[in-house]
């Protein structure tokens, strides 16, 4: 393979990787709630007739460097009703970006106000949902059976006991202290011979 072809493949791979990264980044939505104080009058000072009131609307764009409204409108949203004072936007176009918003008063006959003052805000992307952690219900430790032998006493594992169980009389075997337990406190496994049961109580 000649050098020019190799370089072409490398450049193509870099471009494809960049496009993938850009698309994955833009797929993360941002959320913003826009609240307004609705207009109550017309430009001539008269009240807006109740019959003409329509839901307000909002549009947004990426802000210019001076935080003025950008040239390209990235989206619009209509408020839920003519009396609604807020609307929530979920869109990838506002994620991880300083976005400029402006609102409009609308009338049922098609008339529309000039845009409101521009409001700018940095909108962080919504983090992906993560699974909730499990709930620890029980912590168990080893339960022992005390066995006596001519060559020395020993503790043999015969089951499990939950942490927090009430422990009884202490017994020291080979330098370790164990506390008496009743069989009802223990989940016994194989090998239990019916002797006294002990555990290492916390």
Outline which parts of the chain fall under CATH 2.60.40.10. 30-37+49-128
Q: In the predicted model, what is the mean pLDDT of residues 1-12?
A: 55
- The CA distance from 54 to 74, in Å, is 23
Helix (H, G, I), strand (E, B) or coil at 98: strand
pLDDT digits (tens, 9 = 90+) for 127-181: 888 899 998 877 788 999 999 988 889 999 999 998 888 889 999 998 889 999 9
- The CA distance from 161 to 164, in Å, is 9
Q: Decide if domain 30-37+49-128 falls under CATH 1.10.10.2520.
A: no
| 31 bridge partner residues | 90
pLDDT digits (tens, 9 = 90+) for 29-51: 788 999 999 999 999 999 999 99
pLDDT digits (tens, 9 = 90+) for 63-122: 999 999 999 999 999 999 999 999 999 888 887 889 999 999 999 999 999 999 999 999
Handedness of CA 96, 98, 99, 101 (dihedral sign): positive
pTM of the model: 0.54
DSSP string, 17-51: HHHHHHHHHHTS-EEEEEE-----B-TTSPBPPGG
117: tokens are: 């003052």
Is the confidence at residue 9, as pLDDT, over 70? no
For residue 34, which of 111, 108, 117, 135 has the smallest C-alpha distance? 117
For residue 143, which of 192, 197, 182 has the smallest C-alpha distance? 197
DSSP string, 63-95: PPTTSPPPSS--EEEE-SSTT--EEEEEEGGGT
């Amino acid at each position: 393979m000649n050098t020019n072809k190799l370089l072409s493949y490398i450049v193509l791979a870099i471009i494809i990787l960049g496009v993938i990264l850009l698309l994955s980044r833009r797929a993360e939505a941002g959320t913003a709630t826009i609240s307004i104080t609705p207009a109550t009058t017309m430009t001539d000072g008269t009240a807006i007739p109740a019959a003409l009131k329509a839901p307000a609307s909002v549009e947004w764009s990426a802000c210019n460097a001076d935080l003025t409204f950008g040239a390209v409108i990235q989206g619009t949203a209509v408020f839920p009703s003519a009396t609604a004072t807020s609307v929530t936007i979920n869109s990838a176009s506002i994620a991880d970006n300083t976005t400029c918003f402006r609102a409009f008063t609308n009338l049922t006959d098609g008339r529309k106000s000039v845009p409101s003052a521009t409001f700018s805000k940095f909108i962080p992307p919504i983090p992906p949902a993560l699974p909730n952690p499990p709930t620890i219900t029980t912590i168990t430790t080893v339960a022992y059976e005390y066995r006596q032998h001519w060559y020395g006493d020993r503790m043999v594992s015969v089951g499990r006991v939950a942490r927090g169980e009430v422990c009884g009389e202490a017994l020291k075997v080979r330098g370790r202290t164990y506390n008496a337990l009743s069989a009802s406190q223990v989940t016994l496994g194989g090998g239990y011979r019916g002797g006294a049961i002990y555990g290492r109580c916390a």
